[in-house]
């Protein structure tokens, strides 16, 4: 039994009910097998045993009062997974599907993603099974305040710095930041990222994950002499990541023909009009089917996952985990798809990832391709520490340069280990080595 097989056995036994967590650990360990012979000291110091076990897991009650005066109770999570290279850093997800397995899997991914940015940030993730859909502004605020009334004990600008994820955007971060400041009686802007600009947020943070994804995909295609111009693209999701991926693609002359939300998808052959999507999703907080009110010539279909049946050159899953199942992967390839960029976290199943790699589809892996969000969060932390703010162009240039560097590292690492174009392995290995070196240097802690 190899060292990685032994570790996978331990995780399967200890976390037998956590299917998403087992899924990500399996994907990462598979890539690490090839390098561990070079580092016998890692097995001697049980480095992988420590790497797959969170430093701390916090689970708490979140009671709040709805608009009818009823008391509601949700569950809150924060997984502080690894602080070897910096304070725990990662988003908060508010969605009814949130459970310990999902949060742990996202926190584990975050360790490697944050490492790839080259910035000093460790890995964490949190959230709640709270469903923000259909809630009034007052309900959202009371929930966020209650959530922070417990979370504030465990976070801090040098300890753990949360941000947004599914269901958590600028509005929610604002309410949580307000509550944190009240409880701590201190202005510690660096405790949360994704803040509004007036509250110490960074320009470009809103756009960062989507823009960063397209910078990565642009580099990946360019290394095969392919350009984004004129490409047909299908995007799943219509939230923060999807919207700004679409915006940057359109700037590069690509045509986005479909987007979706959890209820269904829209198909607009002449190209999606992003201003309508922004209005529906960022302002009105409505369903994507409303798009037809603005563009009746488009089509709406209520099976969200069928969005992958639309022929495209490039597929960008930007909604949630396990979105592209093996049947979707086969359909995409049959329809001529040449590249997939993972804007969401773990949007392709392990089976789909293997299928794409085996069939020559270029795959930009989530932990590299969507790292622009957290990288810009780290730039927000820097600006907060320096008590100044950089202009949009400056942050965007830094983001672009970070994404180009991440692409180059994932490509070079894949080549070094004899797997050219396998950016999945490149990202896993490069991300791991930086954290492993830091863990080794810091002894058994
Ligand atoms: P948003 O909440 O802004 O948008 C999420 C989008 O995905 C919505 O269109 C939503 O539809 C859809 N969606 C969510 N859950 C499901 C589901 N179970 N089935 C189908 N559709 C679903 O989130 P973000 O755009 O911020 O996040 C999207 C993905 O990107 C997530 O995987 C997140 O972890 C990842 N990510 C986000 C980063 C960020 O900076 N925000 C950074 C890196 C990764 P509906 O509104 O109907 O629920
Ligand atoms: O998955 C992610 O990288 C995020 N949700 C962003 C995390 C962050 O701290 O900005």
Q: Specify the pLDDT at position 118.
A: 98
Ligand nearest to the CA of 131: 1
Q: Round to whole Å and give the CA distance between 246 and 231.
A: 12
Q: Specify the pLDDT at position 440.
A: 98
Q: Specify the pLDDT at position 407.
A: 98
Residue 374 beta carbon below 6 angstroms from any ligand 2 atom:
yes
Q: If the chain, 445 residues long, is cut into consecutive pieces of 10 residues, what is the mean pLDDT of each piece? A: 97 97 97 94 98 98 98 98 98 98 98 98 98 98 98 98 98 98 97 98 98 99 98 98 98 98 98 98 97 98 98 98 98 98 98 98 98 98 98 98 98 97 98 98 97
Q: Specify the pLDDT at position 67.
A: 98
Residue 208 beta carbon below 6 angstroms from any ligand 2 atom:
no
- Ligand 1 atom index nearest CA of 347: 32
Residue 373 beta carbon below 6 angstroms from any ligand 2 atom:
yes
Q: Specify the pLDDT at position 213.
A: 99
Residue 377 beta carbon below 6 angstroms from any ligand 2 atom:
yes
Q: Specify the pLDDT at position 86.
A: 98
* Residue whose CA lies nearest to ligand 1 atom number 11: 261
In which residue ranges of the chain is CATH 3.40.50.720 found? 208-364
Could you read off the pLDDT of 20-47 as tens digits, one per residue? Answer: 999 999 999 999 999 999 999 999 999 9
Could you read off the pLDDT of 122-180 as tens digits, one per residue? Answer: 999 999 999 999 999 999 999 999 999 999 999 999 999 999 999 999 999 999 999 99
* Residue whose CA lies nearest to ligand 1 atom number 3: 239
C-alpha 164 to ligand 2 mean position (Å): 6
Q: Looking at the domain 208-364, which fold is it?
A: Rossmann fold (3.40.50)
Q: Specify the pLDDT at position 312.
A: 98
Residue 91 beta carbon below 6 angstroms from any ligand 2 atom:
yes
**Reported pTM:** 0.98
Catalytic option among 125, 135, 181, 255: 125
Q: Looking at the domain 3-187, which fold is it?
A: Rossmann fold (3.40.50)
- Ligand 2 atom index nearest CA of 165: 5
Tell me if residue 44 is catalytic: no
Residue 112 beta carbon below 6 angstroms from any ligand 2 atom:
no
* Residue whose CA lies nearest to ligand 2 atom number 9: 90
């Amino acid at each position: 039994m190899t060292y990685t097989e032994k570790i996978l056995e331990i995780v399967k036994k200890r976390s037998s009910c956590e299917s998403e967590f087992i899924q990500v650990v399996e994907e990462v360990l598979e890539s690490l097998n090839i390098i561990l012979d070079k580092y016998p000291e890692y097995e001697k110091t049980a480095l992988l045993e420590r790497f797959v076990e969170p430093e701390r897991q916090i689970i708490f009650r979140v009671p709040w009062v709805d608009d009818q005066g009823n008391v509601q109770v949700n569950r809150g999570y924060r997984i502080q997974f690894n602080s070897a290279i910096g304070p725990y850093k990662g988003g908060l997800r508010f969605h009814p599907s949130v459970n310990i397995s999902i949060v742990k899997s996202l926190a584990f991914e975050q360790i490697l993603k944050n490492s790839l940015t080259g910035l000093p940030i460790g890995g964490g993730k949190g959230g709640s099974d709270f469903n923000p859909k259909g809630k009034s502004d007052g309900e959202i605020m009371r929930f966020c305040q209650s959530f922070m009334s417990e979370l504030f004990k465990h976070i801090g600008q040098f300890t753990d710095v949360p941000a947004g994820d599914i269901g958590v955007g600028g509005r929610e971060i604002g309410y949580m930041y307000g509550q944190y400041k009240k409880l701590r009686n201190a202005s510690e802007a660096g405790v949360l990222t994704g803040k509004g600009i007036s509250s110490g947020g960074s320009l470009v943070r809103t756009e960062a994950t989507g823009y960063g994804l397209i910078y990565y995909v642009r580099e990946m295609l360019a290394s095969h002499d392919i350009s984004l111009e004129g490409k047909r693209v299908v995007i799943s999701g219509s939230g923060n990541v999807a919207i700004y991926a679409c915006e940057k693609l359109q700037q590069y002359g690509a045509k986005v023909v479909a987007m979706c939300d959890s209820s269904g998808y829209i198909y607009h052959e002449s190209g999606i009009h992003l201003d309508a999507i922004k209005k529906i999703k960022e302002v009105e907080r409505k369903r994507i089917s409303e798009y037809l009110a603005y563009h009746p010539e488009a089509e709406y279909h209520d099976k969200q996952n069928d969005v992958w049946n639309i022929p495209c050159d490039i597929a960008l899953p930007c909604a949630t985990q396990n979105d592209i199942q093996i049947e979707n992967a086969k359909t995409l390839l049959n329809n001529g798809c040449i590249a997939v960029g993972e804007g969401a976290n773990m949007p392709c199943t392990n089976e789909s990832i293997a299928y794409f790699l085996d069939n020559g589809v270029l795959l930009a892996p989530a932990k590299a391709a969507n790292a622009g969000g957290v990288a810009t969060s780290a730039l927000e932390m820097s600006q907060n520490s320096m008590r100044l703010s950089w202009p949009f162009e400056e942050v965007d240039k830094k983001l672009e340069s970070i994404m180009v560097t991440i692409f180059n590292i994932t490509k070079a690492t894949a080549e070094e280990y004899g797997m050219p174009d396998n950016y999945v392995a490149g990202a896993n290995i490069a991300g791991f080595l930086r954290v492993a070196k830091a863990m080794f240097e810091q002894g058994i802690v």
